[in-house]
Amino acid sequence: MINLYQTHIESLSIHRVGNKSKTEGAFISKEPYQLNDELMPLLKEFFFKPFREKEENYFQFANEVDVEYNELYKIVTEVFNDPSTIHEASKKITTHLYNQSQHPHIKNGEVYITYLNGLVIDNQKVDGIGIFKSELKHDFLQFEEKSENLEAILQQGVNLNKLDKGCLIFNIEKETGYKILSSDSNKYDTKYWLEHFLSVDALADDNFFTKKYLQLCQNFAKDVVFPAEDKKEEVMFMNRSMNYFAKNDEFEETNFLNDVIENPDLIPEFKHYKQEKAPKFHIEDVTEFPISNTAVTASRKKIKNTIDLDTNIQIKMDFINPESAEKFVEKGWDEEKQMYYYLVYFNKEQKS
């Protein structure tokens, strides 16, 4: 978990990068930007808002040979060793970003590089480096009094309500490539930011394993449970899976399978499915890991828990109390109408 409310921007450098394939060039500021009390809270909200609103998916610097050969890792390490070098380092970072701006779809924009202190991650206070980029310009009106009339002047600028790209690099776990959060609101050039500029891999921590295993379960429910059983059992399998993750601190695969799969014939099916699909989710050899409550909460919001019927009726299951669906929902076949039906038991209707 991160807490950015007490984070202070110690230093800010602002540069501009163009699209290198279009020979747009780059503008490197000679000196750091002098922040004032009016601008500071606005920039903090602009920079940090995306990271407070989205799920925490951590990355780490990577390289095929060794992380020491990662360009940004080297620059960042130098800064953490001597924070006074941040502005000179910001020039190197901007040049590195410019060199990756080769694809014609990549937009030019301003680059903001900050040295941060007071970040809290996993209840530990650390320093960090923030790299942010604004790309899209928005129209706005300025007004000026001229003689006896008010004149409207059309201008373009950066919308402080939406950051286009950004990353936070925490001075923690240096040996494995630091802990990094990334945000990118423009999906058309994700490889440019994550792969080419940052050159990162997903950090395989408890949050990563929890999320990926639940994604595997969701795919198994759709690909195997639904064809073998029915839609109700697909939803119920995910209900029981979510319930297991919500009630346990540690994941153990054998216990999990015995707990959530009611049809014993599907247990070997699940093991075969995992063996076949695990590389896609990067959990080939994972059978035990601590469960991340944050990842469980985020996954619960994304997993569909409704049965959609062709008669324009939906039945919504409850991930918090999955036993209710087991007790109070029955599926049957009506010979007269030649249709399936669901029988739902209840005592009284709840107020909405």
The answer to whether residue 332 sits within a structural domain is yes
Show the domain range for 56. Answer: 2-203
Residue type at 11 in one-letter notation = S
For residue 282, the model assigns a pLDDT of 81
For the residues 90-112, what does the mean pLDDT come to? 92
Q: What is the pLDDT of residues 119-167, one digit of tens each?
A: 999 889 999 999 999 998 899 999 999 888 999 999 999 989 999 999 9
295 pLDDT higher than 80: yes
Q: Which of 163, 187, 203 marks a domain boundary?
A: 203
For residue 298, the model assigns a pLDDT of 79
CA 240 to chain centre: 25
What residue has token string 């409550």?
Answer: 293
319 pLDDT higher than 60: no
Query: Are residue 145 and residue 6 in the same domain, yes or no?
Result: yes
Query: Are residue 214 and residue 142 in the same domain, yes or no?
Result: no
Task: For residue 324, name the pLDDT band (cuts at 50, 70, 90).
Answer: low
313 pLDDT higher than 60: yes
For the residues 279-304, what does the mean pLDDT come to? 84
Q: Where are the alpha helices (DSSP H) in the chain?
A: 39-53, 71-81, 86-99, 190, 206-220, 226-228, 231-247, 253-260, 266-281, 293-302, 323-328
The answer to whether residue 65 sits within a structural domain is yes
Nearest CA to 221 among 242, 196, 199? Answer: 242
The answer to whether residue 352 sits within a structural domain is no
For the residues 172-200, what does the mean pLDDT come to? 88
Q: Which of 203, 221, 243 marks a domain boundary?
A: 203
Task: Please count the structural domains in the chain.
Answer: 2
The answer to whether residue 350 sits within a structural domain is no
For the residues 275-302, what does the mean pLDDT come to? 85
Task: Quote the tokens at residue 138.
Answer: 């928005």
Q: What is the pLDDT of residues 195-253, one digit of tens each?
A: 899 999 988 888 889 999 999 999 999 999 888 878 888 888 888 898 899 899 999 99
**Residue 111 CB neighbours (<10 A):** 23
Task: Quote the tokens at residue 66.
Answer: 């060794």
Q: Which of 150, 174, 203 marks a domain boundary?
A: 203
Q: Distance between CA 295 and CA 207 in Å, rounded?
A: 6
Query: Are residue 47 and residue 23 in the same domain, yes or no?
Result: yes
The answer to whether residue 215 sits within a structural domain is yes
